[in-house]
Chains A and B, each alone.
Chain A
């Protein structure tokens, strides 16, 4: 199963904010169970989408050196439902990024209508025993797949680029390994 809950970045300003879209389609299996004949995207998956938007923003700011995981949700408010055919726009804005973790404020809009808002706290996992959990540069591949480098800007306003030490990952290889659930997509070039 692919665990992507955003479809594409449309804006990405390093260390500041990122904006991504999620198109909801009846082709997605879970909608047929949530609920039968009354499909609504589950709140948990909207939160995951907002967390992916914000988590990649934090990861990029850290130059993909930290294992960034969703640790806490101090606030999550939903104002309406979102259904197949809707496009959700998630915006994550950095509140802080510290050595031990980070926090973003996120919103989900359905057109001009506020759909959901949340505060999301991320932790940086540095314990050696978790080293095999995932590689931080997995996030780099995800960023590329989601088009962040096509729309993004670095803090100085220049075009967003992957860290030089990870260019090989972006250019197709990952030390011979495949990223979880994203091998094929992660190595293809998107055409404008």
Chain B
């Protein structure tokens, strides 16, 4: 059973390998897109590395529910609707959506996910000790 520190270290390694960034850049506060430069194809790579590192399965859209952002029922005039935000909160309990909810522009969504969010995501899938 890994500790929270070990979870972070494995995620750090996965992001260094997938994104070609320096280890010291991968801090808990760093955002995947804004700070670490992740692009859409990188999420496929990152998901694979997390699956391998933690021996877990991550179905499509679980870490990054892009289907909500392309669903016209949840998006209006380039912004996520209240209904969409509720769905995002349900699907992404590991992420803090409060800041995004203040001005939920779809284009800004990609910059939401932080390394700490990914740690919480993994901690929800594997048993972790302190």
Query: Which residues of A are at the interface with B, using a C-beta cutoff of 8 A?
Result: 71-72, 74-75, 95-96, 98-101, 103, 121, 123
Contact = CB atoms under 8 A, between A and B. Distances in A.
Q: Which secondary structure characterizes the binding site on chain B?
A: helix
B48 A123 contact: no
A51 to B, nearest CB: 14
Contact of A121 (B20, B41, B52, B60): B41
A99 B18 CA distance: 19
Interface residues of B, number: 11
A72 B48 contact: no
Contact of A96 (B18, B42, B48, B60): B48
B17 A99 contact: no
B82 interface: no
A68 to B, nearest CB: 13
Given A103-B44, A123-B41, 11 more contacts: A71-B44, A72-B42, A72-B45, A74-B17, A75-B17, A98-B60, A99-B60, A100-B44, A100-B60, A121-B45, A123-B44
Contacts of B44: 71, 98, 100-101, 103, 121, 123
Contacts of A99: 60
Contacts, number: 30
Nearest to A72: B41
A64 B12 CA distance: 36
Contacts of B48: 95-96, 98, 103
Interface string B6-44: 000000000001101000000000000000000001101
A71 B41 contact: yes
Q: Which of B18, B20, B41, B44 counts the most chain A CB atoms within 10 A? A: B44
B20 A74 contact: yes
A71 B18 CA distance: 13
Interface string B37-59: 00001101100100110000000
28 contacts: A71-B41, A71-B44, A72-B41, A72-B42, A72-B45, A74-B18, A74-B20, A74-B45, A75-B17, A95-B48, A95-B52, A96-B48, A96-B51, A98-B44, A98-B48, A98-B60, A99-B60, A100-B44, A100-B60, A101-B41, A101-B44, A103-B45, A103-B48, A121-B41, A121-B44, A121-B45, A123-B41, A123-B44
A61 B93 CA distance: 35
Contacts of B17: 74-75
Contacts of A103: 44-45, 48
